[in-house]
Amino acid sequence: MLVFYPGSLIFVLAAMFAGMFRAEAVPVVATAWSRFHRRCTRWILGQKVVIEGDLPIGPYLYICKHESMFETIDMLCLFDKPAIGAKRELFDIPLWGDIARRYGLIPIERSAGASALRVLRAAAREATAKGKAICLFPEGTRVPHGERPPLKSGFAGLYGLLGLPVVPIAIDSGRVSPRGRFLKRPGIITYKVGEMIPPGLDRKDVEAKVHAAINALN
């Protein structure tokens, strides 16, 4: 934290300054920040990232397990300028929230119901029109390693509206960077890529397949 947070402030200020001249510079700086985060976890915490399976790259709907802050930042290392769903409260953080909007993060109001789904759908369609990957964490919040809560209803609604193939991804980051713990542990963080799920399945089937796939490392 003594290295990452002061370093993050430098990246935020750099993104604000660069964004004054070119909007395209903000995602570039954000990606550099994500790589800085990956290096901090690797060389300070001793956490190595391993990907199991083939990760297809394209305008797909990537659905990821959510166990720690790690994967929310690391998505920018996995994909090229992805559109990532983030809880609405994060956009209220001074400086960072403004950069999040310029980057194109998708704000998710977890208690807003149908209106939140409409905002999410519009943002996701805009992102896919630009060829971007869409990354969502359908459990809604960080989950302790080993727990398997049901998916939030917004996932199935978005899946049906967008008509995109789904790539489910399991992750076990909570083993070494558990939520609410100041101290982290060295070790391996594994992404396990599940089998691609085609569009057009009914809600019960797609939720069951996604739920099983993102919990494959539990």
Q: What is the dihedral of CA 155, 105, 36, 25, to 10 degrees?
A: 150
Placement of tokens 């369609």 in the chain: 125
pLDDT over 80 at 17, yes or no: yes
Instruction: Please indicate whether residue 162 or residue 78 has the higher confidence score (pLDDT).
Output: 78
pLDDT over 70 at 191, yes or no: yes
Q: How many CB atoms are located within 10 Å of the residue 87 CB?
A: 14
Q: Distance (Å, rounded) from C-alpha 129 to C-alpha 12?
A: 27
User: Does an H or E element contain 190, and which?
Assistant: strand 187-193
Q: What is the dihedral of CA 147, 152, 157, 158, to 10 degrees?
A: -70
Q: Distance from CA of residue 118 to its chain's centroid?
A: 19
Q: Give tens-digit pLDDT for 126-141.
A: 888 888 889 999 998 8
pLDDT over 80 at 142, yes or no: yes
